[in-house]
Amino acid sequence: MPMTAEGFADRIAVLLADLQQQGGRVASLVELAFESVFAGDHSRAASVEKLDDAIDTADVALERACVGLLTEAASAGASLGEAQLREVLTIAKINNELERIADAGVDVAELVGEPLCGPTGKAGAVGGVVGGGPCPDTFRVMANSVIGILRDTNLAVSRGDAALAKVVLQSQHAVTSFKAAILKDAEQRIAKGQMTVELAFRLHEVGSQCELIADHCTNIAEQVIYAKSGAIVRHMTHKWVELPIRG
């Protein structure tokens, strides 16, 4: 029986629902990863790895479902619109970006040790600080910003909201600025003996993963815009440019 455009649309709706569930799983993993590293909680860090296993399984299943749908449509000689084809392709791409965000969250959780942020460290350390020494004030703000960006990204995907996707694009610059401020602050504290090199390294690594997550979110935002309008969005000289749609 030939596949109709309506039947194809129904199958896309199922894929989108699965993608939204995957986005929720990834958001939960990222939040748990930050919680584990801030608290120095190895139990939470272990839970992050378990969540990642479920995300990897769902990633493979969704990828196969997208390929299977396009293969079935081609075999049936279905007459499909450009918008429908774009939607399936973007679902597959967004799915891949979500899996990479989860990988970044796992990398954050692997940095768990002493509580990352605390009033002071153990006695005898340089400047009285080790592991859980004082963090820059902007550090938790940066982590919370990344969680918020991911939340907006998932919302843009679920709504097909190109306007919200454009907000996500602009948010990446804030994370980059936070990271730069944190590293500058860490350098000054090390010089004054107020922060250990170990803590500064962990701050740098977590900051790098925050920046990476934000970058993947902007990739997803680009795909949302493409799915809805066919426009290609690129980052050029510190700004986002929406390239003309080619006929």
pLDDT bin (cut points 50, 70, 90) of residue 127 is: very low
**Banded pLDDT at 173 (limits 50, 70, 90):** confident
Counting the structural domains of the chain, the total is 1
The CATH number given to whatever domain includes residue 184 is 1.20.58.220
Helical pair 197-229 and 137-159, crossing angle rounded to 10 deg: 20
In the DSSP assignment, the letter for residue 131 is S
Look at residue 231 in the predicted model and tell me its pLDDT: 73
| pLDDT above 50 (res 65) | yes
Per DSSP, 76 falls in state: T
pLDDT band of residue 1 (cuts 50, 70, 90) is very low
- What is the per-residue pLDDT across 199-227, written as a single tens digit (0 to 9) for each? 888 888 999 999 999 999 999 999 999 88
* Residue 56, domain extent: 5-243
243 forms bridges with which residues in the sheet?
232
* Residue 38, pLDDT score: 84
Give the span between the Cα atoms of 157 and 141, in whole angstroms: 24
